[in-house]
Amino acid sequence: MTALDLFRLSAVTERTRGNPTIIIGLIDGPVAMTHPELAGTRIREGPGRLAGKCARSTACQHGTFVAGTLAASHGSADSGICPDCTLLLHPIFAETATLSSDATVLRAQVEDYRVRRVVYTRFSH
């Protein structure tokens, strides 16, 4: 039984594999970008103090697991829910991270998103 079967998502992935224009935000631990099951996926890292840093930590293992659940390539051991979507990473967990600095960065990024969303909404209609 695969993870997709466990969560009853196999039928969904038979209908669609996602679309690159769909961007999924992942706020978790850092991701091992060189993991073989993530090869060929559309994963982008947002700015931040922890971007690009992935050691053999619990935070890295968890972030990589969640990224794989979402975006692992079809045909890999555990295909992702939406392998053709774009995954935007914002790692906030690490063994040595401090909550206050990560929360500040996250708040700034959320506010930046809100501003861009308002501007986009106003000028796109």
Transcribe 21-36 into DSSP letters: T-EEEEEES---TT-G
pLDDT for the residue 125: 44
Please provide residue 94's backbone torsions phi and psi, each rounded to the nearest 5 degrees: -160, 160
pLDDT in tens, 111-120: 665 555 444 4
pLDDT for the residue 18: 85
Q: Find residue 24's DSSP bridge partners.
A: 87
Residues 6+ away with beta carbon under 8 Å from 110: none
Mean pLDDT of the chain: 75
pLDDT for the residue 88: 92
Kindly tell me if the per-residue pLDDT of 58 is higher than 50.
yes
At 91 the three-state DSSP class reads: strand
Of 55 and 95, more confident:
55
Domain ranges of the chain: 3-95
